[in-house]
A and B are shown apart, each in its own frame.
Chain A
């Protein structure tokens, strides 16, 4: 049940071809080139529009998106048109878009950043906090300012402290596969068949709940909400998810070195006992095939 690829065989607009030929009738070869470009633009119409908004982050989240390699090209070819992104799209001001992927936390002393995040909320239908800094503050929680050349830039908050966020993609860095899965789900939600919309909504729900839950998550949340609540069964997911290897298992239960914890929320969100949707998980084989199919 792979989503139907957008039609790409639409004829190019005639005026566009006609205009240059009228101006310079001798340069016929260039016109052919212009035609090819037009074809690609035409297929954009069915795509969703996506922007990457860069707050205070290390660009690791963007690199993770790029680490889908061929998959990224597939996403940009068929599903999403990148309408905004520092270095990637030649657009100065944040435009209207379907999905804003926001990387990084917001420095509240940097008024431009504050304006940008507010604009993002106004211009985007769906705001996705991409990565742990945007979701939970992550490593920027430890910032104290004093650095050149803006020593007064010292306080950083997750974007959810300033605007409503729709979807979280936690972890430092978020994984290419997680970004891919959310991209496909977002596309199906906005452009898919009714069945695909329902499935995509179910898939995205836990990530929307995560966004509603709040702007803090670290190993402590695993303690408060899983271990202290009598829910941990020692599967090992948290230790596998931790990017700084701060979690080991003692007597079968997670033991976190809290000084190493960077507050990324990967352990908490990876844990099958933090949140778990039978609706989605029981369909795992079909959903994985759907994602596979969409990326082919």
Chain B
């Protein structure tokens, strides 16, 4: 589904990603871990197409398409979803209206008709229930006045609405209490299937208690320096990153 080869990216002339190789197949869950400032969020942003970052080298193939040549919205319409670490507020624009437009774009790309107002409402209620999101929030402006937990649930709700093939969840667990974490994780698990894949970017092992990954990678100074199975996360939790970092020569 996703093949990243030797990806380099920089911001304001400073190189952040220094040659990432990474591969995801349908049905898999990957976790990317690593200390602060290692480039985890940048990696997700670059895959989503954020223009703040300049890709200086490398290739990314997504479902046979050259991802780096696609616009941000084109990537999204083709089923690439980014769950934001800091979801953005859009005053005056209701969640319902925002989702109506987003779902219509996604369906158009899939060759499907837009949903009728009634279908849309029903669909939204269904998906909101997955993350126990109060459907009253649909009438509120996008993320405006949402609590931290509501914002994160709202990201997973949007993921459920858009049925992505590849979901990149950037620190979705940060700032969540244990109940919210459980709800968010349950939501993600329910959306898992043979056809889609999830990449979790996280600091903490605790999310991986709920969402069990097939692979765990350690990103450090812009490179993936170590990959392993789900046990790697436990080891990192216990021993920290030092043993890896000390081994690593820049």
Bound pair: A and B? no
Using a CB–CB cutoff of 8 Å, the interface residues on chain B facing chain A are: none
Using a CB–CB cutoff of 8 Å, the interface residues on chain A facing chain B are: none
